[in-house]
Amino acid sequence: MKGRYFVLYIAVLIVLTAFFSPLSEARERKEVSVGITLADRKRVAIYLQDCNGIINDNTGKAVESSEGLHVFTWHEEGIKVTGPEADIGVFRGPLTILEGDNFHRVSGAVEGELYRGILRIDKDEKQLYLINILDLEEYLYGVLPREMPPSWGSAGGMEALKAQAVVARTYAVSMSGRHEKYDLCDTVHCQVYGGVGKVLEKREHENTNRAVEATRGQILTFNGKPIEAFYHATNGGYTESPQNVWNPKASYPYLVSKEDPFDDPTNPLRIRDFIVHNRARWQKHLTASTLERLLQGAGFNVGRLSALEVVSRYPSKRVKELLVKGTEGQLSLFREQTRTTFALDSQMYYIQEGDSQKVWLLGRQAVPVATDGLDESKVVTASGIKTLKGKSFFALSASSLERVPQKYFLFTGWGWGHGVGMSQNGAYNRSRCGHCYEEILDFYFSGAELTDDYGR
């Protein structure tokens, strides 16, 4: 019976750990349970290898299984299990698939995803749940490559990967327990996790796995609690404090706004081979009508947009208050709203106004015209004025052509993301300049303490 062996194994492990810990300095293990997103919430297929066994957690007994593809389907009375050849039965569950010598091969969201650790299948009145229970360090193997390019580790960025590993571990520990049936989900809601990858396309990478191992158990704490370990792609040369982005009351002593020359695209320190993030500088050209649509989408209405005025900025030059003026009134956007409302890359920008040339008015005679590349342009058609979108054909008349100006706003900005906490690009430059991960974390989270054993 595989179940009994498993219980025995655990018992032996507990005895051995208790006995040898003081000598071997065995680090504490911490398990995490992760909810895996299923494409079909009522069905999941898992390939059982002969070393795996299924335990019915409700009875503690093993479910008869053999090597091959097993399909688990939601059933009113439990979980229906179908083996490679025949139906095995309906079990109240939850069902646990034990860890074998190989990775679990799951066909749930994407075909053939591999997972480490234990898989648990649970259900409620609506759907099935696939829960991956594994060592927190192994979980991080599947998180890190999604957050920072593993290739950085081969180009002077190993210390940046280690810093990211500590940040991801801290985040996982502080977010733990957000869901009813598991600790964390596998999406951006908690932290993106993708398991080992696919059979022919592994997502785990040697560099990111090494970064996790080198920082095993380490998290950042403040007053004994895991910190809010925020990070972003690039900050334009100045980090931001959370109260200037989200909430004036969201103050954290270890998250302060300060200059970051290692992520300033002008490279003030004149560092050789300095990396400027490809989105460190950006421009966005938006017509008045597009901005009006975005404002409406966010629930604001000022009529026809007439002006945008930056009223105030923070010391970082990020916009604090943006005044929006229109024919039917005006309103102020504050902090993060000044970026999210218009889907801008960051809150650090300047605005120039101008008149668009891309507007045509045409007279009589009908001529069909392809309108590629003329998005947002206005044309007079047989059935009135139309706004062009994508590739479309209109019956235009070409006898009189006239340009009619349309107001546009050009946003020129720096940085990508909120700018709070660690800049990944800044961490990369620091790593390439010889800073160790402890120094990198100390700059971005100054005052926070780097502690071992998950802060316990």
Q: If residue 178 lies in a helix (H) or strand (E), which one and from where to where?
A: none
Q: Which stretch binds Zn ion (CB under 5 A): 183-191, 228-236, 302-310, 332-340?
A: 183-191
The rounded distance, in Å, linking the Cα atoms of 55 and 73 is 16
With residue 22 as reference, give the H or E element that holds it.
helix 2-24
Q: How far is the CB of 32 from Zn ion (least distance, A)?
A: 12
Site membership for Zn ion, residue 143 (CB under 5 A): no
User: Which of residues 111 and 124 has its CB atom nearest to Zn ion in the complex?
Assistant: 124
CB of 142 to Zn ion, least distance (A): 15
Residue 107 to residue 139: CA distance in whole angstroms: 19
Least gap, CB of 183 to Zn ion (angstroms): 9
Between 35 and 93, CB nearer to Zn ion = 35
Q: Least separation, in Å, of the C-beta of 131 and Zn ion?
A: 13
Q: Which of 448, 449, 431, 432 is nearest to 440 (CA)?
A: 431
CB of 274 to Zn ion, least distance (A): 36
CA dihedral 245, 249, 254, 255 (to 10 degrees): 10
Stretch touching Zn ion by CB under 5 A, among 186-194, 335-343, 363-371, 401-409: 186-194
How many residues bind to Zn ion according to rule CB under 5 A?
3
Shortest Å, Cβ 130 to Zn ion? 14
CB of 191 to Zn ion, least distance (A): 8
The residue among 144 and 185 lying less far from Zn ion, judged by its C-beta, is 185
Q: Which residue in 32, 106, 121, 185 binds Zn ion (CB under 5 A)?
A: 185
Q: In this structure, are residues 418 and 439 in contact, taking their beta carbons and an 8 Å threshold?
A: no
Which CB atom, from 32 or from 211, has the smaller least distance to Zn ion?
A: 32
Please identify, among the stretches 137-145, 187-195, 215-223, 359-367, the one whose residues bind Zn ion according to the rule CB under 5 A: 187-195
Per residue, what are the HEC states of 233-276? CECCCECECHHHCCCCCCCCCCCCCCECHHHCCCCCCCCCCCCC
3-state secondary structure of 295: helix
x/- string (CB under 5 A) for Zn ion, residues 189-228?
Answer: xx--------------------------------------
Question: Which residue type is seen at 152?
Answer: W
158 vs 175, beta carbon nearer Zn ion: 175
171 or 238: whose CB is closer to Zn ion? Answer: 171
- Closest CB 44 distance from Zn ion, rounded Å: 19
Which residue's CB is nearer to Zn ion, number 176 or number 316?
176
Q: Which is nearer to Zn ion, 27 or 189 (CB)?
A: 189
| Dist. CA 48–CA 98, nearest whole Å | 10
- For the record, the structure tokens of 222 come out as 């403040």
What residues contact residue 433 under an 8 Å CB cut-off, 6+ apart? Answer: 262, 271
269 burial type by CB count under 10 A (0-12 exposed, 13-18 middle, 19+ buried):
exposed
Residues of this chain that interact with Zn ion (CB under 5 A) are 185, 189-190
